[in-house]
Structure 1
Amino acid sequence: ERLEGLHQVRSVQQEDLELERLALARQLRSAYAMGRQERIKILLNQQDPDVVSRLLVYYDYFNRERARRIANINQTLEAIRETEREIGAEELRLRELRARELAQQQELEASGARRREVVAVLNARIEEKGSELSGLQSDERLLRSLVKQLHEALASAPLDGAEVKPFKQQRGRLEWPAAGRLAARFGSAKGGGLKWDGVLIAAPEGREVKAVHHGRVAFADWLRGFGLMIIIDHGDGYLSLYGHNQSLFKETGEWVAPGEPIALVGNSGGQLNSGVYFGLRHKGRPVNPRTWCKKGRGNRVGSRPMVDKRVLALAAAPLREDRI
């Protein structure tokens, strides 16, 4: 708008300049023609002093008017030059402004592209998390179904070992299945509204996983989401679960003694880090392992108790290769 106004001002100034030039040209032509005639008449006719005086006043006025018009022309020219300088400065400012606006537009377009990329990545992550959550929920349903089936199948089956103290009397006395750090506690958030129904013990890959009590192996196989899993029946509706193993030492139906190695710590079942999932069930319901196992030091749990080799010899079984 300002540039347009400056152009309009310059147009008016140029029109004024042209009018002043035309007026000055007419005045100069008139003065030239009139001046020669009057001066000759004054000299030849010897007009009286009043006439001479009047003509001199007229000539003086004429000269002043001519000087004024010349001054006006010069002022108009200077005003036009100043207006043109302002027009140049305004055009430069507008070019710089357009350049900044173009740069900002390009930056906005780049930011929009980056934002779209971020949104696409976030949507992909959300979809991935949704798939992971769906997978976790499916895995938990599968585990609950397996535990329920085992509980129903083992409810009426007698458990050998009359000299072994019942599992229900071992509250707070059980050894942990592996020495390590509690990476996930019972009841803590697992993601997607799910909670841990056992604990996750972070331990080096290849460390022995041991049975927490006398019992019989009710399940020893791959379970989706938990990798290589062993489930031991301890009677009276009690089960212990050991998941994410690297390899299994026992087969379904074999007997195990307390502290007997049954597997090696691993990261099967999709785990990034090595560790063992340890859970307890009573009549199909999860119970907190920390209320049944010996207290550790802070997050550290487990020890390496000595095991009677004669007991191990009675329950020895060949090593079964990892079936990941």
Structure 2
Amino acid sequence: MKIVRRLNPILLFLLFAAVIYPWRDCPAQRDKIRQAEREIKTSKSKLEEIEEEIRTKDERAKGLAKQEHGLAVQIQDIERRIDKSRQTLKSLNSEIEEISAEINYINHQLAVLAQKLKGKKAILYRRIREIYKRGRLHEVAVLIGSHSFTDLLKRIKYLTLIAGQDKRLVREVGGLQQTYGEYRRASERKLALRVTRKEELEREQQSLQSSETQHQKLLKSVKTQRAEVLKALEERKADRERMRSIIAELERRRLEAQEKAKREGRILPPETAYLDGRMGKLKWPVAGGRMIRGFGPYEDSMTRTRVINNGIDIKAELGSEVHSVAGGTVEIADWYRTYGKMVMLYHGSGMYTIYGHLGEVFVQAGDFVAEGQTIASVGATGSLEGPLLYFELRNGGRAEDPLKWLGRM
């Protein structure tokens, strides 16, 4: 018991020390834990920042890809809207001209009616004055003054004729007044309609101006984006190559038609070769233009890439007339990708001419056109450089330098 009592204080001290010792180091451990937690939190925050940056860059890349695709689509939509506005303006102008012509005709008729009415009214007023001066019993006095029964009958006849003439005069004046009123109301309606159409015309002109401004802004935006320009150049290159396939298909169909006619014993009329012997003699498709890019390879100034041009680009005023360089048949008259609004003519013997970036087109597929005929106007559809005419000449699908065929500008 003495030993136990002697050991108890020692055991108690050791036990106390064992229990208390960890708590003496606890603040240091807590600091280490807190530091570790801070480092973990910092690392986690950096990781989140990195992930956010990756997401942002990914979204930006996707956005740029959409924007690149979207700009081309927007430009095409605006070009179609501009084309529609121009057609609407043309229609409204034609309608206003027709209404003005109708108003001029109505005004002329009103002037004629007014003159007739004036003359008839003068006669009617003169008759009324005469009747008033002679009094109500004038006819009775005329009849009483008859010398014989025969004279009485004559006087009755003449008075009846005069009364009938007066009645017709009154009806005629009334009819002229009614017709005059109808023409006057028609004139007022036409004038109101012309005012309405002119207001519509002004609104459409404002819409067109807004679309053209937006179009120019988008074109400028596209020009500042190298990737978009590169993409457009690649698309244009692909479309120019695709044109060879289109012409090959047209030639295949033509040969099939000839073979079919031969099998059926039919004789097709001989094909006219409108370009035979015309090399260096053709007139330019647009007057007053300036060639800004020739046939063959060139370096794009923005992208510094080598590009092949299968035709020539002629800078010209918007709306300038585009003429056929020779007689031929319209094969295509429609929108075609980077050509914009395009017309393709077949001139016989496998020779084709192509007119691109057009504004208004005046022909349709199947039409025959004569040399020098106006087939379209200069536009900016599908163009990244504003209004210009793209002119291409192909021989059996192979592009040839148009300058070899064209005479002096």
Kindly indicate which of the two structures has a greater share of residues assigned to helix.
Answer: 2
Rg (Cα) greater in structure = 1
TM-score using structure 2 length: 0.39
TM-score using structure 1 length: 0.49
